Amino acid sequence: MESGSIKEQIRRYWDSRGSSYDRSPGHTTLPEVWKVVLASVFREKMRILDVGTGTGFIALLLAELGHEVVGVDLSKGMLEVARDKASRAKIEVEFKLGDAENLPFGDESFDAVICRHLLWTLPNPQKAVKEWNRVARQKIVAIDGSWLSKSVLVKLRRLIGQMGIAVYERRRPWNHYGKEINEVLPLRGTSTPEKVTEIFRNAGLSKITVRDLSWIREMMLKEQPFVYRLAWVNKAYFMVEGYKEV
């Protein structure tokens, strides 16, 4: 499948999810907890690019912390929701349409780049991180997790849970990437700290550290309906931080 066709299908999927995305607690839960985590990563005021910003959850929190933030996403549908949320909250964030693997910004336009739950959606995550390194002056931060398991029992549990979640969130249960797309996403459900660290290192980043964030998932799931606890069985949830080599 050609790259342009892949990106177009991915874009259409996320456009369709814009109106329902924030109904999932995993996307917008525990904002105050996330602000503490983000404040510990970005200790001084910075110009930050939030890649794959989606409906703007991380971008808006960073702006509330006093940073100058730009959010970029491939999906117009997601950006419409993000802009509406920023307007209603009276928070200033610039949201732009753009491809995470081919950013519409000049070299070293930002102090830092962050992404959350994005790497698994990318056909070429290595190319993407190299591109983020190009536009960053200081560092890159990626938050990701291992979402899938080879266990048949876990797969069945996840399947039943996802069907329940789709009903709870009022969306079609099978409205997701097809097999053709899934096969060209190297980190789909299989992201690990080791894999992301290797990608960072290959992109020229150094002083790479990994922080365990599984406690956030555990905290979030305690307050969620049973279908979420049934479906969300992940092996790891983590943050990888790497610095640009000078």
CB atoms within 10 A of CB 132: 28
Which residue is it, tokens 């069985």?
233
Q: Are 74 and 101 in contact (CB under 8 A)?
A: no
Q: Are 85 and 56 in contact (CB under 8 A)?
A: yes
pLDDT at 218: 81
Tokens of 92: 């200033």
Mention every residue, 6+ apart, whose C-beta is less than 8 A from residue 113: 48, 49, 51, 132, 135, 136, 139, 140, 141
- 76 occurs within a structural domain: yes
Mention every residue, 6+ apart, whose C-beta is less than 8 A from residue 163: 173
Q: Are 73 and 97 in contact (CB under 8 A)?
A: yes
What CATH number has the domain bearing residue 20? 3.40.50.150
Q: Are 117 and 89 in contact (CB under 8 A)?
A: no
- 73 occurs within a structural domain: yes
Q: How far apart are CA 213 and CA 142, in angstroms?
A: 12
**How many domains, in total, are found in the chain?**
1
DSSP string, 33-47: HHHHHHHHH--S--E
SS3 assignment, position 78? helix
| pTM (two decimals) | 0.86
- 176 occurs within a structural domain: no
DSSP string, 166-228: HHHTTS-TT-S--HHHHTT-TTTTT--HHHHHHHHHHTTEEEEEEEE-HHHHHHHHHTS-HHH
What domain range is 16 assigned to? 3-147+186-219+235-244
Q: How far apart are CA 53 and CA 79, in angstroms?
A: 8
Tens-level pLDDT at each residue, the chain (246 residues): 455 688 888 899 889 888 888 877 778 889 999 999 999 999 999 999 999 999 999 999 999 999 999 999 999 999 999 999 999 999 999 999 999 999 999 999 999 999 999 998 899 999 999 999 999 999 999 999 986 655 555 555 555 556 665 655 555 544 466 667 778 889 987 899 999 999 999 999 999 999 999 999 888 877 666 566 555 665 689 999 999 986
- 63 occurs within a structural domain: yes
- 168 occurs within a structural domain: no
